[in-house]
Structure 1
Amino acid sequence: MTHSPRTSPLLPCVLATAVLFGLAGTACAAAHAKPRAAAHKSKPAASTEPATTTDANGRTVPLLDNKAWVLMDFSTGQILASSNADEPLPPASLTKMMTSYLVEQGLKSGKLKPDEPVTMSLSAWCRGGKGGDSCMFVPLNAQVPLMDMLRGVVIDSGNDASKALAEHVGGSESGFAAMMNAEAAKLGMAHSHFENSAGLPDPRHKASARDLAVLAQAIIRNSAEYYPIYAEREFTYNGIKQGNRNALLYTDPTVDGLKTGHTEEAGYCLTASAKRNGMRLISVIMNANSAQARADQTRVLFNWGYSNFEAATPAQAGAPLATAKVRYGVAPDVAAGIAQPWSMVIPKGQGASVKTAVTLNPELEAPIAKGAVIGKVVATADGKQLGEAPLVALAGVERAGFFLRIRQRVSGWFTK
C-alpha cells in the first residue's frame, strides 16, 4: 500500500520566502562580485614561476613590470642584470639615501655630532602630514638631536626631517642640493641630479637605477657604523611610533636595508640589500605599480641572483703570478702579482673552469717601484672574459750602476 506524502499548508509560503530571499542574495552577491572581479583583472595573481626574458647577452633574466631595475653585486660593483639602468627617473624618497649619506659622512669626519640639536624651521615643518606627506612630526621650532633626525629620515622617511637636516648641514636646502650633486659626481652618478633633500617632485630632480645602486653601495661601504639604522623596523619620536616601509625587513632575514619611495609620478620604488652565504647583492626597483609589487619584484631579483651566481677569487693578493724581465736593474727580474684582493661574481657552476692569463708590459726598465703596474691579468671561463686586474711588481728593483748596465747591454747583444 502506497502512502501519498502529506503537504503542510505552510510549505508554499516557506518556498516563496526562500525564493524571494534567494534572489535578493544572488543580486547582492553579484553586486559585490563585480569589484572583486575587476580588481582581480587589474592585478593578476602572482605566478609561482616569475616571468623571464632574454637580455642582449642571450641570458635568461627576470621580466619585471616597472620602468627600470638593477641587480648589483656589492663587493665588485658588477651589474648582474638590469633594465633601463641609466634612464633618469623621478626617485621619490630614494633621494633620502643621499641626504642620509651626507649626514653620515659628516658624522664620520667629526664635522657633525650625534647629539647636536637640529631645529625644525617653518620651511621644514610638516603641517600635519596633509597631502600624503611622509613626516617625522617634529613640532615647529623644536630642537631634536641629530641622530634622532637621521632616524626620522631613514625609518620614517620624514620630509620634515630631511629638510631640517638639509638646512642644518647646507645652510639652506638649495645649498644642500649643491652638496648632493657634488657628492653624486664624486661617486660617478652620471645620470642623476638633485633639486631637494626629500625627493619632492621637480622636473629636474632625477636619478637612474644604476646610480642609486652605486649610492647604496657607498652607504654600506663608507657608512658601515650607521648602516644598521637602515634595518631598524620602527622608530618612536614624540610618542608617535612609525614602522619602516621596507616590507622585506619583516619577511626576509637576509635583507638589512635600504629605502622605499613613492610619489604619483615616481610610482613605487625600493632600493634593498641582502646578504646570503657571505655574498651581498643590491637591488633597485623604480616605478612599480604598488608597494606589494616593489617588494615582490625585489624578492624575484634576489632569488634569481643568488640562484644563478656565486663569488670567485681568480688570484690571491700578493701571490706571484709571473716573473717579469727587467733591463738595467740590480736584479734581472721581478715577481708580478695583484696588490688588492680580487673577487668577482660568476655564473654558478663555473668556478672550476676559471682560468687566468698574464700579459706583461714589454721592455721593462729599472728603476721599478714596488706596486708599480707592469701588466694585467685576465680571468676567463669557458672562453668568455670575466674580468681583469692590474698586475704589479711585488718588489722594487733599483737601477744598476753604470758599469753593470754596460755589462748587461753587451751581454744582451750575444743572447738575442
Structure 2
Amino acid sequence: MLNDITRRLAIYSIFVGMSLTLMVMPSAAQLYQTSAKHATLMDFDSGATLFSKDEDEQMPPASLAKLMTIEVVFHALKNNELSLDDEFLISENAWRKGGANSGGSTMFAKLDSSVSLDDLLHGIIVQSGNDACIAVAEGMAGNEATFAQLMNRRAEEIGLKHSRFANSTGLPAEDQYVTARDLAHLARHLIEEYPDLYHYFAIPEFTWNNITQRNRNPILGATEGADGLKTGHTQAAGYGVVASAARNNQRLIAVLGGMKSKKERREEARKIIDWGFRAFVSKRIYDADEEIAFASVHGGNKSEVVLVSERPVNLFMARANQGRLKARVYYNGPLEAPIDEGQEVATLKVWADDKLILETSLITGESIGMGSMTQRAIDGVEELLLGWL
C-alpha cells in the first residue's frame, strides 16, 4: 500500500478523528509464560499478536507443513480445478515413503488403490497420513518436488515471508523451515478463505482400510470451542501444534513448537487458549461500512472520498493494565478521479503504547466521478503549489 513512505507529497498520513475510550495494554500479554520453544497467540479478527516467544525464529515444520499442502488443495477446490470426487492413485512411492511400513503417520492406504480426494483430505487432516499427502502431491504435480514449488508459490502469495517447503509431508528435508508467526498467518488464512472446507479440521476420527484413528489435535473435545487445526512431531522439531478455538464470537489461533512430549503439547495448548480468552476481551471499534476517515481526491466532483472497512473492525483487548489507543489511516494520495466504490486504497493502523496491534485495509465507501474542467484546473494548481512547499 505504501511503497515509499519517505516521499514528501505522495504520501499523506491522516490521524483518525475519534475519541476512543477503549483501553488496551498488550504488554500485559508478555506476563504469560509457556514452556514451548516457539509460540504465538493471535486474535483471528484483527490479526493482532497477543503473545509471542521467538515467533520469527526458523524451526522444522514436521507435519505442520501439511497445512500448506492442505492450502494448495483447498485453493484448487475453490477455483474448481479439483473436485472432492476426484480419485488419486496410491503409487509405490507413496506407499513406501508414507504407508504402514514407513514408520511415520499413515492413512494405511493400499498400494495401487485409487482414493477420492475427500477421503485423502480426511487422511491428511485427521490421521496426518504421509501416504495421503504424497498421493495428492503426485496427482496434482507429478512428483513431490514440483508440488513443493506449488506450495512455495502459494506461501509467497498469501504472505508467508519466512517459511519454505521441500515436500508435502513435513518429513525432514534440507531447506525446509517455518516460523510460528507464519503458521499463525497460514491458519488464519485457511479459516478465513475456506469456510466451507474448514470443517475437516474438527472431525474427531476417521476409518480407512478397517483402521480407525482419532484426530491427533489434543484440544479437540478437551477445550471449549476448539475446532482445528494440526499437530506435528519429528525428533528435530519436537512436538508442535497449530490450534484454534472460538467462544462468544471471538476466535484465537495458537502456535506452539519445540515441546518435549505429547503431554506437554496438550497441556500448553489448552493453557494458552484458555488464558487468551480469560485475559482479553473483544471490542468493536467500527462496524462494516462505517465511516472511518476521508481521503483527498484530485480531479473529482468531490474533494474527498469516505473510507470504510468491508468487515467489522474488532480489537482483542487486555482486560487489565489498560492504556489509550491511537489510530492512523495511511494512503497513497491524493487519489485520482474517477474512483469506484469498493476500491482498496488505504490502511488503518492502531497502536497501544507505541506497539502496533492492528493493521487492516480500507476501501472507498462511494464512487467519485470526474470533476468539471474548472475543478480539475484548481486541483492541478493546488497540487503544483503544494509541490513547492
Q: TM-score, normalised by structure 1?
A: 0.74
* Change in CA separation of 1:97 and 1:399 when aligned onto 2, cut-off 3 Å: closer
Letter paired with 2:155: A
User: What SS does structure 2 have at the residue aligned with 1:125?
Assistant: helix
Deviation at 1:237, TM superposition (A): 0.7
| 1:144 counterpart (107, 112, 115) | 115
Aligned to 1:300: 271
Instruction: Give CA deviations for 1:335-382 in whole Å, capped at 9, x if unaligned.
Output: 523242322322236999667677899978865554567877665668
CA deviations on 1:205-257 (whole Å, 9 max, x unpaired) are: 21111111111112111222121111111100111111111121131241001
**Residue equivalent to 1:88:** 58
Which shows bigger deviation, 376-385 or 298-307? 376-385
Q: Which moved more, 1:145-154 or 1:351-360?
A: 351-360
Q: Percent identity?
A: 36
Find the aligned partners of 1:241 and 1:303 in 2 and give their Cα distance: 30
Per-residue deviation at 1:393?
A: 5.2
Moved more, 284-293 or 298-307: 298-307
Task: Return the alpha-carbon distance in structure 2 between the equivalents of residues 365 and 183 of structure 1.
Answer: 32
Change in CA separation of 1:142 and 1:349 when aligned onto 2, cut-off 3 Å: same
Match of 2:132 among 137, 141, 161: 161
- Letter of the structure 2 residue corresponding to residue 302 of structure 1: I
Who is 1:110 aligned against? 80
- Equivalent residue letter for 2:71: Y
- Structure 1: unaligned runs, 5 residues or longer: 1-54, 411-416
> In the TM superposition, what is the alpha-carbon distance from 1:325 to its structure 2 partner?
7.5
Partner of 2:186: 215
Pairing partner for 1:135 from 88, 96, 106: 106
For residue 283 of structure 1, the aligned residue among 225, 236, 254 is 254
- Structure 1 equivalent of residue 173 of structure 2: 202
Cα distance between partner residues in 1 of 2:316 and 2:289: 21
User: Which residues in structure 2 correspond to 1:356-395 (within 5 Å)?
Assistant: 370=341, 379=350, 386-387=357-358, 394-395=365-366
Shift in CA distance, 99/323, structure 1 to aligned 2, threshold 3 Å = closer
Secondary structure of residue in 1 paired with 2:207: strand
CA 1:312 to 1:158, structure 2 compared with 1: closer, same or farther past 3 Å?
Answer: same
Q: Which residue of 2 is the match for residue 99 of structure 1? A: 69
Cα offset, 1:267, TM superposition: 0.8
Q: For the residues of structure 2 that align with 1:393 and 1:142, how far apart are their CA atoms?
A: 53
Moved more, 217-226 or 391-400: 391-400
Counterpart residue number, 2:93 = 123
Q: Compare 390-399 and 305-314 and name the one that shifted more.
A: 390-399
Return closer, same or farther for 1:116/1:324 CA change in 2, 3 Å cut-off.
closer
Alignment deviations for residues 56-83 of structure 1 (CA, whole Å, 9 cap, x no partner): 9575432222221111111222211111
Q: Which residue of 1 aligns with 2:32?
A: 62
CA distance in 1, matches of 2:49, 2:210: 42
Residue equivalent to 1:186 = 157
Q: Residue deviations 1:103-146, cap 9 Å, x none?
A: 22222222212122211111110486346311111111111112
Please identify which structure carries the higher helix content. 1
Residue 92 of structure 2 aligns with an amino acid whose one-letter code is: L
CA distance in structure 1 between the aligned counterparts of 2:146 and 2:285, rounded to whole angstroms: 45
Asked if the contact 1:75–1:280 (Cα under 8 Å) also holds between the matched residues in 2, the reply is: yes
When normalised by structure 2's length, the TM-score is 0.79
- Is 2:311 the counterpart of 1:338? no
Paired residue secondary structure (1:103): helix
Report the Cα distance in structure 2 between the residues aligned to 1:212 and 1:320, rounded to whole angstroms: 33
Higher relative strand content: 2
Q: Relative to structure 1, is the Cα distance of residues 334 and 270 closer, same or farther in structure 2, using a 3 angstrom cutoff?
A: same
Whole-angstrom CA distance in 2 between matches of 1:182 and 1:266? 24
Q: Distance in 2 between matches of 1:116 and 1:373?
A: 37
Q: 1:8-34: CA deviations, max 9, x gaps?
A: xxxxxxxxxxxxxxxxxxxxxxxxxxx
Q: Distance in 1 between matches of 2:167 and 2:66?
A: 9
Report the alpha carbon displacement of residue 323 of structure 1 after superposing the two structures with TM: 6.5
2:209 counterpart letter in structure 1: N
Change (3 A) 1:369 1:226: closer
**Cα offset for 1:171?**
0.8
Change (3 A) 1:329 1:57: same
Q: Is the 8 A contact 1:169 1:176 kept in 2?
A: yes
Shift in Å at residue 320 of structure 1?
Answer: 3.7
Look up the match of 2:232: 261
Q: Deviations over 1:309-345 (max 9, x none)?
A: 22223223433456777777545x5452324232232
Between the aligned partners of 2:380 and 2:75, the Cα distance in structure 1 is 55
Change (3 A) 1:373 1:114: closer
